[in-house]
Structure formats: C-alpha cells, structure tokens
Structure 1
C-alpha cells in the first residue's frame, strides 16, 4: 500500500526494538512513548498566508513520539502505521 501524506502529515512505523537508545533506557509506562521510523513525509506546513514551510524531519529518521488520542492509526497485514504531525514528535534520534 502506498500512502501520500498531505502537508505536515508524517507516516511512521513503530520499531519493535529494545527500549534503549544508546545507553539510555526508555521504560514502558503509562506515557506510551514509542520509537518509530519515518517512512513518508508531506510537503510541509501550510501557513495562513498560503506559504508552505518545509518539515525538519525526513524519510528514515528515527524518532520518539507519544501515542495519544491525536495520533491516527491504520493497520494493514499486521503492520501498524501511525499518522502524525511534526508537532507530535518528541525527538529525532541521531
């Protein structure tokens, strides 16, 4: 399935990896902080004046994001896709 996110939407897949980033352990708790990989990005944020500001994130960036009620999810063949905005991202992992 091929998605084409609009404007400031970003499509992420959750990484089922160890809950560690380097030497930092991310506990699994009620905060629902997930590690993901960006697979598609929109063209940018549409401003009121009609200009489009490019997004800071790009395809293949690893990110931390919080799974909450604002995040749309779509499941295809046991693979879950998260549709979020750049403002939903907590951090880019380098």
Structure 2
C-alpha cells in the first residue's frame, strides 16, 4: 500500500524485536517505546505564517517512538502502519 502523508505526518512500520530466552518471550519494554522504520514523510510542518518548515526525519530512518493514544494506526493484512508527527519521535537511530 502506498501512502502520501500530508504536511508533518510520518508513516512508520514497527520493527519487531525478538526478546526471548530459549522458547520464552520476555517483555523488556515497560514504557511502550517502539522501534520503527520511516516509510514515508509529508512535505513539512505548516507554520502559522503559511510557510512550510521541512522535517528532520527522512524516509528509511530508524526511529524510536512511544506508542500512546495520540498515535493513529492502520492495519492492512499483517502490516500495521503508525501515523505520527515528528514531535512524537523520541530519537533517530544511526
């Protein structure tokens, strides 16, 4: 599926991290912080004066973000897409 997000919206897919000891899965993330891959970005943040400020995050960046009630989600088959704003991103991982 192809998305074209508007303005400062960013489309992200979660990168699954496997945390297990033997065959037992262990929860290691109590804060709901997820690792994701930026699939697509909008053109930038629309400012009050009508100008567009470009985003720092780019397509194919690996990011950390917190999954909370503000994050919009859309599931297609086995893929879950997260729609967030740049302000929702905690960090870009190099």
> Larger C-alpha radius of gyration, 1 or 2?
2
Gaps of at least 5 residues in structure 1 are 20-26
How many correspondences in the alignment? 87
Q: CA-atom RMSD, angstroms?
A: 1.4
TM-score (norm 2): 0.88
Q: Give the match's secondary structure for 1:59.
A: coil
Q: Counterparts in 2 of 1:1-94, with a 5 A limit?
A: 1-18=1-18, 27-29=28-30, 31-94=31-94
Gaps of at least 5 residues in structure 2 are 20-27
Question: Matched residues in 2 for 1:93 and 1:38: separation?
Answer: 11
Question: Matched residues in 2 for 1:37 and 1:18: separation?
Answer: 16
- 1:36, CA displacement in angstroms? 0.2
